[in-house]
Amino acid sequence: MSVDSGLQVRGLHKRYNNGVQALRGVDLSVGPGMYGLLGPNGAGKSSLMRTLATLQQPDAGSIYLDGVDVLADSDHLRRRLGYLPQQLGAYPGVSARDLLDRFAWLKGRTDSRQRRAEIEGLLAKVNLQDAAHRALATYSGGMLRRFGIAMALVGSPRLLIVDEPTAGLDPAERNRFHRVLADVAAESIVLLSTHIVEDVENLCSRLAVLAGGQILVEGSPQALLSAEQGRLWVASFGRGEALPPALHVAASPEGSRVIVYGERPADPRFMPHAPRLEDIYYLALAQAGEAADA
């Protein structure tokens, strides 16, 4: 990807007034398609996304969108940005259609015919046409998420930033949400944060693991997986059995399924394990000395 296209982030630092250093030199190169930002609680995902959305200033570093310096010219990005924050605010007793209409007007969609056509298209995309007349206060969590994405898509943004959009969604809602995002990613840049590894596994062409305000690993899922081929091992242990030091452990009714990392485990019960993205995630955190559940 040329440095003049997509989102280019270099050396981003952010420290809050309370002394927390949330970003410690983040470099990121995001092209068209879906990019997954994976990290534990407190990793700095929302801090990075709010900074990219120009809702807060970094202390150091640069952000370029399609070759334009975002920190010098924030309007350029704001006109091309759709942002779905992690926390959705309280919703008024206004209908989805009316709120979208007002929002689109504020975004400069002053031609009412065009505005209505865009809004009906967005409502169809997120499958809320039948509920669009209802007050948002009556929406379920999944419906609110879908409404949030419709809001973020007003004006066909070049860059869509979605912060943990699938948290709290049931599997069907999550799938529906993924399909909408995949559609958008076919035409623009989508940056998605999550701590759910499966969100990234099937959806993202590239991903980064962020922890402690730093990018630990970055690449395509295939490249990250093949880099660790042959170094992961799995064995099952019964209840009450002592477990060896592990990369991660999955509990099961029978006992524990233990994944270890290394050239060859001493214990002959370990069998080769084909790397999965969750292993890559745990490995990145372990190598950085970060606890997965920090």
Ligand X SMILES: Nc1ncnc2c1ncn2[C@@H]1O[C@H](COP(=O)(O)OP(=O)(O)OP(=O)(O)O)[C@@H](O)[C@H]1O
Residues that bind ligand X (CB under 6 A): 16, 18, 20, 22, 39, 41-47, 86, 195
45 vs 80 by CB, closer to Mg ion: 45
Q: Which does 60 bind (CB under 5 to 8 A by kind): ligand X, Mg ion, none?
A: none
Residue 164 CB, nearest distance to Mg ion (Å)?
A: 6
Q: Which does 16 bind (CB under 5 to 8 A by kind): Mg ion, ligand X, none?
A: ligand X
- Which partner from the list Mg ion, ligand X, none does 214 bind, CB cut-off 5 to 8 Å by kind? none
Residue closer to ligand X (CB basis): 211 or 235: 211
Q: How far is the CB of 80 from Mg ion (least distance, A)?
A: 23
Token pair, residue 21, equals: 């250093």
Q: Choose between 214 and 237: whose C-beta lies nearer to Mg ion.
A: 214
The nearest distance, CB 166 to Mg ion, in angstroms, is: 13
Q: Name which position in 46, 51, 54, 166 contacts Mg ion (CB under 5 A).
A: 46
Q: Which two tokens stand for residue 228?
A: 């660790």
Closest distance to ligand X from the beta carbon of 42 (Å): 4
Choose, by CB under 5 A, the member of 86, 127, 129, 205 that binds Mg ion.
86
Minimal distance in Å, beta carbon 78 to ligand X? 20
Q: Is 236 in the site for Mg ion (CB under 5 A)?
A: no
Q: Which residues are at the interface with Mg ion (CB under 5 A)?
A: 45-46, 86
